[in-house]
Amino acid sequence: MKVSIIGAGYVGLVTGLCLADRGHRIQCVDVDEERINGLANGILPIHEAGLDRLLNKHLGHGFVPTTDLATAVMESELTVIAVGTPVRNGAIDLSYVASAAGSIGKVLARKGGFHVVVVKSTVVPGTTDELVRPVLETSSGKSSGSDFGVGMNPEFLREGEAVDDFQNPDRIVLGADDSGSLEVMMRLYASFRDTHLVCTNTRTAEMIKYTSNALLATLISFSNEIGNLCAVAGGVDVVDVLGAVHLDKRISPIESDGRRTTPAITSYLKAGCGFGGSCFPKDVRALIQWSTDRERPVRLLNAVLETNEQQPHELIALLDRHFHDLRNVHVAVLGLAFKPGTDDVRESPALRIIPELLRRGAVVSAYDPIAVAQAKLALGDSKVFYAPSLETAIENADAVVLLTSWPEFQQMPELLQAREPLPMVVDGRRFLDKTRIPRYEGIGLSGESTRRRAAVASH
């Protein structure tokens, strides 16, 4: 099938290359010429496991990057909109979606045949029907349902595992308000034979995406609140508490052979320094504003965000327990990406913690295996020393703050063996083995003073 994709970002690129791998012919359009030129020369603008292999395999054949939207739409039968939907002043900014729809509509005005426009960007319920459809109708002078179709196909990929998620989806949601559009969308995904298909209307498809992200964000903030409570309880470690909660058979079912399955959802029921990335914070904010506009405010979600915004400060508070004043204290920040496996730093906890450390006069060195370039752009001309390796970052550090659970950080106990004096390690992800690190603090762990008080009380 000939497909045009508008937007060559995380979602557009992964979608385009994975669909090319399934035999479709893709033209991937972006307004960013540098990005398109780079792609045309085999250079990916993002880090995502497996994507370079797909680009090498399909570039120039099944996958063509281009800035020429008109030709891409004209030569395809289906167009996917995968442009950004940022939040500005607390509400979703749909201007990129509207602009893309306007450009597509102008091409549809002179194109024959039934063309389907599918919204893949995350958009608030009603957007496909009330914004995309009318913009397409106005700019094309044609009628949806008969001359062209519209659909909504939310994307559930996780950065860091995007290619695998796209190729092995847990569900494919196809929202359409007419059968012609649905039929074309089903052909796009025909090769995903064993995948659960959810065929519904466009508004439900839009709502499913927000509900999924809001649920996961809620689990994280819930876990963080419990962690903060454990930290003051005395002798309590949130890892033990939530670990036992995970064993509830309604969460981790016991199979007939007695073995347990540990569902991936348990990874969201863990305490840490908060969620970041381009989706959870923005989507929760957009849903809050959308619900408020409809006079049905989702009060719970305000708390989810508030907890998340506060959570990085919990780490600074752990440092404050050990350093009277952070002036001239050398703090090594490990992990700049919002999660391992990606170089995306959007809304990463590091972007909150580093400026606060600098404001308090700390000397900051930072290390991330792949996200340094993105962090430099995001933090601007800051006084951070970006270390070329983990070893260099922690050299001379008085404190080490772990913010991203990159596997290589597991070497910390070995790296600290020869260190004198030992730095204080503050684990923002509860990723390290606390028993192997002599000076250890972690989110959700009662501090040394509360631990001592609890021990005395229990005698």
Among 5, 124, 152, 157, binds ligand NAD (CB under 6 A): 157
Q: Does 155 bind ligand NAD (CB under 6 A)?
A: yes
Q: Which range binds ligand NAD by CB under 6 A, 18-26, 93-101, 384-392, 418-426?
A: 93-101
Among 66, 71, 99, 291, binds ligand NAD (CB under 6 A): 99
Q: Does 207 bind ligand NAD (CB under 6 A)?
A: no
Q: What is the side-by-side strand order in the sheet with 25-29?
A: 63-66, 25-29, 2-6, 78-81, 115-119, 148-152, 172-176, 197-200
Helices 202-233/299-320 angle, 10° precision: 40
Q: Does 91 bind ligand NAD (CB under 6 A)?
A: no
**Range 112-131, binding ligand NAD (CB under 6 A):** 121-122
Among 3, 5, 12, 307, binds ligand NAD (CB under 6 A): 12
Q: Does 385 bind ligand NAD (CB under 6 A)?
A: no
CA neighbours within 13 Å on the CB side: how many for 27?
A: 17
Nearer to ligand NAD, 157 or 216 (CB): 157
Which residues are part of the catalytic machinery?
Answer: 279
Locate 127 and state its tokens: 């957007």
Calculate ∠ Cα 37-29-209, nearest 5°. 125
Nearest residue to ligand NAD on Cβ basis = 9
Q: What are phi and psi of 395, to 5 degrees?
A: -60, 130
CB of 82 to ligand NAD, least distance (A): 5
Among 3, 7, 149, 341, binds ligand NAD (CB under 6 A): 7
Taking the C-alpha atoms of residue 133 and residue 140, their distance in angstroms, rounded to an integer, is 11
Q: Does 32 bind ligand NAD (CB under 6 A)?
A: yes
Q: Which range binds ligand NAD by CB under 6 A, 153-161, 227-235, 357-365, 436-444?
A: 153-161
Taking the C-alpha atoms of residue 116 and residue 119, their distance in angstroms, rounded to an integer, is 10
CB of 282 to ligand NAD, least distance (A): 7
To which residue do tokens 């000397």 refer? 363
Locate 18 and state its tokens: 């994975």
Neighbours of 299 (CB within 10 A): 8
Q: Does 219 bind ligand NAD (CB under 6 A)?
A: no
Taking the C-alpha atoms of residue 172 and residue 120, their distance in angstroms, rounded to an integer, is 12
Taking CB under 6 A as the rule, which mask of x and - marks residues 277-306 in contact with ligand NAD?
A: -xx---------------------------
Among 3, 10, 200, 219, binds ligand NAD (CB under 6 A): 10
Closest to 111 (Cα-Cα) out of 137, 75, 66: 75
Q: Does 275 bind ligand NAD (CB under 6 A)?
A: no
Among 3, 5, 8, 124, binds ligand NAD (CB under 6 A): 8
Among 82, 117, 132, 426, binds ligand NAD (CB under 6 A): 82
Q: Tell me, what amino acid is at 219? A: L
Among 3, 5, 6, 319, binds ligand NAD (CB under 6 A): 6
Report the chain's C-alpha Rg in angstroms. Answer: 24
Nearer to ligand NAD, 335 or 442 (CB): 335
According to DSSP H, which parts of 168-276 are helical? 179-188, 202-233, 238-246
Q: Tell me, what amino acid is at 195? A: T
Taking the C-alpha atoms of residue 324 and residue 420, their distance in angstroms, rounded to an integer, is 20
SS3 category, 313: helix
Contact residues: ligand NAD, CB under 6 A: 6-12, 29-32, 35, 82-85, 96, 99-100, 121-122, 155, 157, 159, 278-279
